[in-house]
Structures are given as C-alpha cells and as structure tokens.
Structure 1
Amino acid sequence: MSLVVYLAALVFGMTSVLLFRRPRTAMRNPLTLSTCAAVVLGALVFVCAAPATLATVNDLTGVPNFGAPLTYGMLSAYSCAVLVLLINWRGGPRALVRRMVLRSMAAYGLLVAAIVVLFTLADARTERLTDLDTYYAGTPFMREMILLYLLGHSAAMLVMCAVCLKWGREVGGLLRAGLRLILLGALLDVLGFQLTKYTAVVARWTGHDLDFLSTTVAPPMASLAALLCSAGFVLPRLLPPVVAHWRGLDDYRRLEPLWSLVEPVSTAPKPPTAWWQLPRARLQWREVSIHDALLALAPYFDHRVRERVRDTALRAGRSPHQARLTAEAAMLLDAARRARAREEPPATAGSYRLHATEVSGPSGLVELAQALVRPPAAALAPDGAARTSMTGSMAEPEEPHVA
C-alpha cells in the first residue's frame, strides 16, 4: 500500500515542478503559487498517509499514532489550499479575493489547531497504521478529531463541486474540461473516500464491523480522486504551452526546405535558449534567420521568372494564392542559384514583397517552404532557364545545417 501511495505523491510532485519551473515568475502569480501549493500539499498528504511513513513518524517522536494528527492536519491544509486555488482561479476584485483567501485560511487554521488539541486530550496508546479511524471511532476526543477532519474535508469538496458546476456553465474549451475533471475527482472523493469513511465509522458506533470500507476501499478512491483533481487544475495551465511547443517544433521541421536553401546567405546569430523554451526559441531564431536571408536575396529576384510561373499556374487551374506561392518559390530558387554562383542581379530585379513577409508568425514561411518541395512547381516553369534554376538548385543543394 505504501508503494502505491508514494507513486501518487511522486506524480503530484512532478506536476508541481512543471508548474513551478520559473520560480521568480511563479512567486508573483497568485494563481500559479496557489496551484503549486495545492499540488505539493496533496503530495504531502499521500506521503504522510503511507503506513511506512506513519510508523517512522511514530518511532521518531516516541508518541503512538502521532502520524494521525499530522496526516489529518495536512489533509485539512490541502482542503484549504484547494479552496484558495478556486478563489484565485475564479478571480474578481483584488480586495474580495484577498478577504476570501484569509477567511479560508483562518477557518482551516482553527480546524488544524482543534485536531491537535483533541489528539492531545485523547487516550490513543495503541498504534494503528491502517485502521485508526475505525479502531478509535468510539474513543472520547479521538472520535471528535476523526469526525472533525472528515467534516472539514467534506466541506471543501462540496464547495468545489458547487463552484465547478456553476462555473462550468459559463466557460468553455480547456477550462471547462479542467473543471469537469475537478468535478469528477471531487465527486469520487465524496462518494469513494468520505462516504466510505463515514459509513465505517458510523458502523462502529452501532456495533457493526465495516472496517474494510475505511482500510481497503477508501485509500485508492482518495488517490484516484486527488489525481483527477490535480489533472483538472493543471490541464488548462500546462496543455496550451505544450501544444504551442509541439506546433513550434512541427513548424520548425517544415521550414527545413526553405532554411536549407537560404542558409548560406543568412547572417543572424544564434541566441542561447533554455531547455523548456527550446522548440519555440529555435523556431523564432529560424524565422529571423530566414527573413534575414530573404532580404539578402531580394536583389536577385527575377520577376520574369515569377510572372511566367504564376501565369502558367493560373492556366493550370491553381488558385491565385497557390499560383503566387508557386511563382515566389520559383523566383526564390532562381535567386539562390544566382547568389551562390555570384552572378550579377538580373536586369528586371526590383522591389517585391513576398507573401511570407506580409503575414505575422511562421505560417507564411511554412507555406513558402512547402511550395519549394511540391513536384508541380518545377513542371510549371515554362522555359529552360526557369526550369534549370529550380531543378538545379535542388539537385546541388548546400549541405543543410540544422540549428
């Protein structure tokens, strides 16, 4: 059982590391800070609740069952952190948010203090690592302590369910998906963990034995519920940058044909990048380098090549946009050949703005790169000069350099 609980704690811990990868920025963002606090406290709850941890804590302190108030206090702190996270996530006037956060912290601070006081007053000399809730269900002060921590956790989960239901009707996209995961986790916590705990404790009060609900059913349900809630909290925050990095890496690879063609004339320096910014930073550097190279190749643009290929593409049924891209790709191939051969600029050279320089972001460059590798582009060149420039530049390319 301890191994499963420790694995759940490890998942929580890794999630907090991803969220807290920029400590300076995170410390200034209440939402990121409260998310990390909730996730870390959730991990600590699992660590404290493991039987191996409970036995170690009891041995170190010399107090039987000292791990119980430690675990219950940590669970109450986690419940408070979840409420604080919901408050920061929902937003609103700063004064109102601050007031609600302070009230939540004060309420659960009193709860933790009450748990400690009740444990101090109770007579719990027999160490119980897995069935403490049911074993001491009828013991004075221990009974109240157990009921108090359950009620405090139930209040937090029920508030979470209500907020997720209400807010889920007002938002969409990833935020709604995250709220649904949180709601599912909270419901699983209420029904799978709390209800089974309440049932087992009440059964003890009435002279029945349903301890297996508390010792066997409740722990895995709590683990699964906490993981779902954690996924719901971090999904709207982690998935967008992950998708952005993935798209950046895809665009970076799709720009390779264009970069291989213009790399010899690019003079843009390569900036240092952090590992978590690598795909997007490399894409930005490649964009800058390609634009720099396009400026260097502009004097070699032969507009006769562009116009002939464009007209041929239009007659072949291409759309105006596709015909323009095909023509610009042919002109760029011809310009790269001239620059590599150190030829004089063509007599028809003049100012022309490529489509790739008219749109923001890498989409225009990606379209131009893909036009370079389309087989029909070479076939559309109507004369030998254009066809030679297009096929020749591809037949004898410079050795590509991958940034």
Structure 2
Amino acid sequence: MSLVVYLAAGVFGFSSVLLFRRRPGALRDPLALSTCAAIVLGSLVFVCAAPLTLSAVNDLTGVPNFGAPLTYGMLSAYSCSLLVLLVNWRGGPRERVRRLVLRCMAAYAALIVAIVVLFALGDARTERLTDLDTYYATTPGLREMIALYLTGHGAALVAMCAVCVKWGREVTGLLRTGLRLILAGALLDLLGFQATKSTAVVARWTGHDLDFLSTTVAPPLASLAALLCSAGFVLPRLLPAAVAQWRGLGEHRELRPLWAAVRFASTAPQPRTAWWWLPQERLRWREVSIHDALLALAPYFDEDVRTRALDAALRAGRSPHQARIDAEAAMLAAAARRAAAHEPPLDAPSPYRLHATEVPGTSGLVELARALPGCLWTPRESQVR
C-alpha cells in the first residue's frame, strides 16, 4: 500500500515541477504559486498517509499515532489550498480575492489547531497505521477530531463542486475541460473517499463493522480523485505549451531536408547547451541558421534556373503558389551545389527574394523543405552559369 501511495504522490507532485519549469516568473504569479502549492500539499498528504511514513513519524516523535494529526492537518491544509486556488483562478478585484483567500486560510488554520488540540485531549496509546479512523471512532476527543477533519475536507469538496458547476457554464475550451476534470475529481473524492470513510466511522458509532470501506476502498479512490483534480488544474496551463512543443518538434523534423542541403553555408554556431533544448528552442535555432545559410547562398541564385523550373511546374499543373515554391527549391538546389563545389558566385546573381524570407515564422521554410527533395526540374551542371 505504501508503494502505491508514494507513486501517486510522485505523479501528483511532478506536475508542479512542470509548472515551475514553464517560466522563471512562476513564483511571482499568484495563480501558478497557488496551483503548485495545492499540488505539493496533495502530494504531502499521500506521503504522510502511507503506513511506512506513519510508522516512521511515530517512532521519531515517540508519540503513538502522532502521524494522525499530521496527516489530518496536512489534508486540511490541502483542502484550504484547493479553495485558495479556485479563488485565484476565478480572479476578480484584487481586494476581494485577497479577502476570500485570508478567510479560507483563517478558517482552516483554526481547523488544524482544533485537530491538534483534540488529539492531545484524546487517548490514542495503541498505534494504528491503517485503521485509526474506525479504531478510535468512539474514543472521546479522537472521535471529534475525526469528525472535524472529515467535515472540513467535505466542505471544501462541496464548495469546489459548486464553483466548478457554476463557472463551467461561463467558460469554454480548455478551461471548461479543466473544470470538468476538477469536478470529476471532487465528486470522486466526495463520494469515494469522504462517503466511505464517513460510512465506516458512523457504522462504528452504531456498533457495526464496515472498516473495509475505510481501509480498502477509500485510499485508491482518494488517489484517483487527487490525480483527476491535478490534471484539471494543470491541463489548461500546460496543454497549450505542450501542443506548441509538439508542433515545434514536427516542424523541426520537416526542415531536415532543407537543413541538410544548406547547413554547410551557415555560420551560426550551435551552443553547447543545445542538447537539452526543448523542441521550440531547437526549431528557432534551426530557423535562424537556415536563414543565415540562405543569405550566404544568395550570390549563387540563378534567375534562369528559377524561370525554367517555374515554367515546368506550371506546365505540370501546379498551382501558381506551389509552382513558385518548386522553382525556388530548384534554384536553391543549384546554388547549393555550386557553392559546395567552391565555384565563384555568379556575376549577376538573381535579386529574387524567396517566399520563405517574406513570411514570418517557419511555414515558408517548411514549404521549401518539402519541395526540395522532389524538384520538378533540376538543372544539369552544364546549365548552371
């Protein structure tokens, strides 16, 4: 069980690393900071709830079941962080946001203090690593502590569900998808973890034994619910960047034929740290390097080559735009061969400007790269002046 809980904590917490990796100013962004705080606290809840951690904490402090108020306090802090995150995510006037955040923090701080006090007043001499909630469900002090932490966590989940339903009607796109994931996670936590735990505790109050709900059913449902909530918070912030990186990777690969043909003419040095660059950074460097190479090859551009290739492309049924790209590819291929052979530049090079240098971004370069391997007309060396 501990291994599963630690794995859930690791996956849950890794998303916070991704958020901070995204940009250096994340610590100054209340939304990014509150998102990461909620995810980290959720990870710590899992870590604290693992039987191995509970046993280690109890041995370290010398207090039987000291891990219980630690875990319950961490869970209450996590509940508070979820509400704070929703407040920051929803936004609004700064003073109103600040006031709501302070109210949430004050309420759950009082809850955490009450949990610690009730634990100190109760009698928990027998160490229980997996079934403390039900074992001490009827013990004075501990009984109130258990009811209090379940109530605090349940209240946060109900508030989350209400906000997600209301706000989900007002937004679209990735934000709505994220809210639906959060709602699914909150409902699973409410109906899976909260309901099963409460049912098992109430069963003890009435003299029945449904401990398996608390010890076997609740933990995996809580893990799944936390992962869904984490995905809901992170998805709207990371998915656009992930999609952009994926597109950058595809365009970087599509530029390979063009880069292979002109890289010898580029004077842009590759930085030593390029091996760990993300796809978009690699794409930007390749774009700059190719433009540098095209500038170096411009003295070898032959207008006659381009004109002949353009006529051939039009006769083959190409559209005017595609015929232009094919002609430019043929002219570039001829220029690259001449430059690679260390031949002198043309006496009267073509003043023609490539389409790839007229449009922003890499779309023009990608079109040129696609046309380069299959030029409709490739001049023989004897035709190159």
Under a length normalisation based on structure 2, what TM-score does the superposition of the two structures give? 0.94
- CA shift at 1:310, angstroms? 1.4
Match of residue 285 from structure 2: 285
Quick check: 1:334–1:390 contact (8 Å CA) kept in 2? no
CA deviation profile, 1:28-79 (whole Å, cap 9, x unmatched): 1222211111111111111111122212212222222211111100000011
Structure 2 matches for 1:141-160, cutoff 5 A? Answer: 141-160=141-160
- CA shift at 1:259, angstroms? 1.1
Match of residue 137 from structure 2: 137
- CA shift at 1:231, angstroms? 1.6
Match of residue 11 from structure 1: 11
CA distance in 2, matches of 1:85, 1:226: 14
Quick check: 1:168–1:176 contact (8 Å CA) kept in 2? yes
Match of residue 329 from structure 2: 329
More deviation, 199-208/276-285: 276-285
- CA shift at 1:390, angstroms? 12
Structure 2 matches for 1:2-401, cutoff 5 A? Answer: 2-21=2-21, 24-273=24-273, 277-346=277-346, 349-374=349-374, 377=375, 380-381=376-377, 386-388=378-380
Quick check: 2:12–2:226 contact (8 Å CA) kept in 1? no
CA distance in 2, matches of 1:116, 1:390: 90
After superposition, the Cα gap between the structure-2 partners of 1:46 and 1:391, relative to the gap in structure 1 and judged at 3 Å, is farther
- CA shift at 1:347, angstroms? 5.7
After superposition, the Cα gap between the structure-2 partners of 1:264 and 1:225, relative to the gap in structure 1 and judged at 3 Å, is same
CA deviation profile, 1:332-381 (whole Å, cap 9, x unmatched): 1112123233444446533222111122111110110110012xx2xx32
- CA shift at 1:24, angstroms? 4.6
CA distance in 2, matches of 1:83, 1:33: 13
Structure 2 residue runs of 5 or longer lacking an equivalent are: none
Quick check: 2:274–2:282 contact (8 Å CA) kept in 1? no
After superposition, the Cα gap between the structure-2 partners of 1:41 and 1:274, relative to the gap in structure 1 and judged at 3 Å, is farther
Q: Specify the SS of the correspondent of 1:65.
A: coil
Quick check: 2:334–2:379 contact (8 Å CA) kept in 1? no
CA distance in 2, matches of 1:90, 1:43: 24
Q: Specify the SS of the correspondent of 2:380.
A: helix
User: What is the identity, as a one-letter code, of the residue corresponding to 1:320?
Assistant: P
Quick check: 2:137–2:204 contact (8 Å CA) kept in 1? yes
Quick check: 1:79–1:156 contact (8 Å CA) kept in 2? yes
- CA shift at 1:323, angstroms? 0.7
Quick check: 1:330–1:390 contact (8 Å CA) kept in 2? no
CA deviation profile, 1:184-240 (whole Å, cap 9, x unmatched): 111100001101111111112222221111111111111111111112212222222
After superposition, the Cα gap between the structure-2 partners of 1:391 and 1:248, relative to the gap in structure 1 and judged at 3 Å, is farther
After superposition, the Cα gap between the structure-2 partners of 1:25 and 1:323, relative to the gap in structure 1 and judged at 3 Å, is same
Quick check: 1:54–1:68 contact (8 Å CA) kept in 2? yes
- CA shift at 1:23, angstroms? 8.2
Question: How many aligned positions are there?
Answer: 384
Quick check: 1:249–1:283 contact (8 Å CA) kept in 2? yes
More deviation, 74-83/299-308: 299-308
More deviation, 219-228/231-240: 231-240
CA distance in 2, matches of 1:89, 1:156: 16
Quick check: 2:305–2:379 contact (8 Å CA) kept in 1? no
Percent of aligned pairs sharing the same letter: 75
CA distance in 2, matches of 1:391, 1:142: 94
- CA shift at 1:102, angstroms? 1.4
Quick check: 2:6–2:46 contact (8 Å CA) kept in 1? yes
More deviation, 147-156/349-358: 349-358
After superposition, the Cα gap between the structure-2 partners of 1:391 and 1:304, relative to the gap in structure 1 and judged at 3 Å, is closer
CA distance in 2, matches of 1:305, 1:63: 87
CA distance in 2, matches of 1:45, 1:10: 11
After superposition, the Cα gap between the structure-2 partners of 1:274 and 1:305, relative to the gap in structure 1 and judged at 3 Å, is closer
Match of residue 399 from structure 1: none
CA distance in 1, matches of 2:250, 2:382: 25
Q: Specify the SS of the correspondent of 1:387.
A: coil
- CA shift at 1:134, angstroms? 1.5
Quick check: 1:193–1:219 contact (8 Å CA) kept in 2? yes
